[in-house]
Amino acid sequence: MKQVIKARRNYSPQEVQNQEPYYWIVSLYAGDPNGFGVMVGCYRDLVSKKEERALELAAKWLNEGRILSDDRELFVRIEQVAVTSSVVYVK
């Protein structure tokens, strides 16, 4: 049985600012970092708990030495993910 908790809590701006994100989505793109980019193959990963792990993964992908034949620039996009709702499953 799935039980959805719909009660919302209004956090103060200070509480929101103090919350730590615990998930990061790391993606490798080719193109212009300030414009349009295309995701490269299967280079997308979800990293949890430590932001340093996301930064290490980004550095690893950029340092692999992949060279594109059409001179597009490689760049990494790291997105922070925040949990905004929860679901409780009851057996």
What total of structural domains would you count in the chain?
Answer: 1
38 occurs within a structural domain: yes
| Segment 44-87, tens digit of pLDDT | 998 987 888 999 999 998 887 566 666 678 888 898 887 666 66
4 occurs within a structural domain: no
Domain region containing 53 = 20-84
76 occurs within a structural domain: yes
73 occurs within a structural domain: yes
15 occurs within a structural domain: no
Say how many C-beta atoms besides its own lie within 10 A of residue 65's C-beta. Answer: 5
6 occurs within a structural domain: no
pTM > 0.85: yes or no: no
Spatial distance between the Cα atoms of 77 and 14, rounded to a whole number of angstroms:
27
Cβ 40 vs Cβ 30: under 8 Å: yes
